[in-house]
Structure 1
């Protein structure tokens, strides 16, 4: 699947300045991740289980 066929979105927590944001696109097979500041660069994809583990880890980490 090409990046133009994916429905990319940013978190609602992202600011409007465009700094330090990623975009994600969800498919049945994977979660695709790219840099929102340079969408022409390659993106990477991770399986749904790996993504769930990552989100669980990040959401349980202590906040600074």
Structure 2
């Protein structure tokens, strides 16, 4: 995971205390807490991440798995 190119969320707090970073792997999207870069990383499929973003933006179907 260290070779990934991480990007901070554009919605992260300006003071750095509420930041989330994402990185795209070959077959997954990785998400981590900026404050804990050596901590655990959540990985999901690109399709699951896209569905998550649609729901957050209010454009999803409203179904849950």
Same fold (TM over 0.5): yes
Alignment match, 1:41: 39
CA RMSD of aligned residues (A): 1.5
- Equivalent in 15, 18, 30 of residue 16 of structure 2: 18
TM-score of the pair, normalised by structure 1: 0.80
1:15 CA displacement: 3.3
Provide structure 1 residue ranges, at least 5 long, that are not aligned to the other structure: none
Matched, 1:6 2:13: no
Provide structure 2 residue ranges, at least 5 long, that are not aligned to the other structure: 60-65
- How far, CA to CA, are the matches of 2:24 and 2:40 in structure 1? 16
Aligned residue pairs, count: 59
Alignment match, 1:57: 55
